[in-house]
Structure 1
Amino acid sequence: MQTIAVALAGRPGARLAARSAITVSRSTLLRLLRALPAPEVKAGPRVLGVDDFALRRGHVYATILIDMDTHRPIDVLAGRTAETFAAWLPAHPGVQVICRDRGGAYAEGARTGAPQAIQVADRYHLWAHRGCLTEPTPPQPVAANSVVPLPDRMLDVDGQLRPLVARKQQRHAAIQQLRAQGLSLTAISRQLGVCFRTVQRYADANLDDLLAPAIHRSSVLDDYADYIHQRRAEGLTDAAVLHAELQTRGWRGSLRTVQRYLRPLRPATTTPRPVPAPKPRRVTSWIMTKPEHLDTEHSAVLTGVLVRCPALRAVRRHVAEFAAMMRELGGERLDCWMHAVEADDLPALHTLVTGLRRDHAAVTAGLTLPYSSGAVEGQVNRIKALKHTMYGRANLDLLRQRILIPH
């Protein structure tokens, strides 16, 4: 029963026990789990990994500590503050290397609690320019003194502004207005009732970039796109008739979905079908991939994107150089790389470089030493799975037992 409790905790454990002809309640399994002695840590590991995880996202967090030599969790701390981490380190001496993310709390805690330890920063993510992804289309003539309407992709099937688009526009306008008044991001978050990270994203982003995922999303009808365009070229404009035809070809969706899909195509019956833009995440993955590992089709699409966007050409060059530093553990080249980035007009990467300079020693160590936070991220994913099996309702003491006790 203890083994079942460690593996599955309460209700799931009770159901499995019943299948094994063991009559036990969920409460008994939880009492058995809480009664098990958790592994004690008297000395810190040589290489320590640290990261946070959410008990209740946006409200309550905890800290996971990993022995990077064994990849096993050794302790779980309530909270994710610098003080909590700094208090743990002197009580567990012997830590020589600390693998952490680039958040300030763990960096400050490491400097306070283990000033002799080498800090190794985590890897980074890069962002692709959405505006350069769409294939260019020939400009359409506009009558003199005419008002250019909103793009149809921003409207719903009834011709109204889509709720998601309207909500993003209103939120962006409100955040920008409050920021112009001098309010801090934290104050804006409290006033609007929006989480801090959302306020931060809206404050730093262009409205077009925020709207791009909403107006360029894929459709469940994309698999039938060739047939739809063929029938429209033949003169079919009735959505109900097209919906009936699609049903004979396997479509099981609603008429309203077909109407929504056809709306952007109505004013474009005499123009060529637009080439769908690759998703920013896909372009990011192509940029992050070695050119020789890309297939011909993806390489051609990426080449077109880079031709239209000089900024992304520079980004790809810098990404390739940074990737070479990571593969070859060439941290001594970091300063030259940062100077080259600053020489280009790339505000997003300039922000990255500014952050790298603030954490220069840890970043250099991350690009020089053979340590990374991969094992820590793996344990955080495991914790998420444990939380899901407990329906997200476990107290920290119970979750801590399941994290630390091997099974």
Structure 2
Amino acid sequence: MSIDPSSARTPAIASKLPAVGTTIFTVMSALAAEKNAVNLGQGFPDFGCDPKLLEAVNGAMAAGHNQYPPMPGIPALREAMAAKIEALYGRRYDAASEITVTAGATQAIITAILAVVHPGDEVIVLEPCYDSYVPNIELAGGVVVRVPLTPGTFRPDFDKIGAAITPKTRAIVINTPHNPSATVWSAAEMRALEDLLAPTEVLVISDEVYEHMVFDGAPHESVARYPGLAARSFIVGSFGKTYHVTGWKVGTVAAPAALTAEFRKVHQFNVFTVNTPMQHALASYMADPAPYLQLPAFYQRKRDLFAAGLAQTRFKLLPSAGTYFQCVDITAVSDLGEADFCQWLTREIGVAAIPLSAFYGGGFDQRVVRFCFAKKDETLVHALERLAKL
């Protein structure tokens, strides 16, 4: 019996993520394109990477590196990452058993969560936070426990974090340098977390994708520096952020061998491996540390250029200690809430930003919006010319 096409129907399903719709980043980028606005909303550069890196990719493809690489990543890239982490943070990870190459940081985060979170396990997230954390936990069947960073300063509140830990707590997700607030955890805060977790079995997923964007001479306090944290942590990194190639979607995870073994069990089935020529190119390019060592100065100059222009407006600048984001208080500029203001700013002024409330589960509106300054100088100047109208 044949089925009449007009009567065919798609079976009903119960959504695994019923609260998830189109992200604010997609919405604002589409509006920016429609209004020909300067898009300072989404966090990616509008400039290219080092031509030497592109040459290395072309060379890798020409050399025949176009088939599946090993599941955890090519040995040369894992060795390069292990050497970098040891040089910068003083901890040696075994390249064979403790470093995994991932399809970007977002895949790394969900893979870590799926590897260790069982249905009913609690996972602490510190809000505001990157928008993939909560859906990842929910997909694993975990229970999201939201702990707010201190409003205004976005510092971690260890009394609140400690109060949120229960016998069901499986992990905590931390992020430094922090998206969206541009704050950076201090050594004292890392030690406080280390002490707090010492008597527990709580794991750490440490999102450190902006590790090379810490300003004003401050160091990046990776959990790798702290033995009590490193022993329980997945450390997530991003070549895309570091080398201005976010579309390549290549990242890494460093973790103790026992955690890495569980991570790779999931990794091999949700990605298996990561594109080969990019891995070979990155491995050879990393022989010179200068590109990532100069990154703090590179982005600090852009931060200062953008901040100097914003200082001529009625925006109140919040500190930007790291990342490539600048948050501003809009109270003196508009009576609108964050989301409505970002819509208005895009439509009427021609500059797109992101409301900070988008990074909270409850949509907490503090009258703060986020700009991205990972742009060409001329892009930033163009945006500032438009913002000068405010």
Higher RCO (CA < 8 A, seq sep 6+): 2
User: What is the TM-score of this pair, normalised by structure 1?
Assistant: 0.24
Greater helix content: 1
Pick the structure with more strand per residue.
Answer: 2
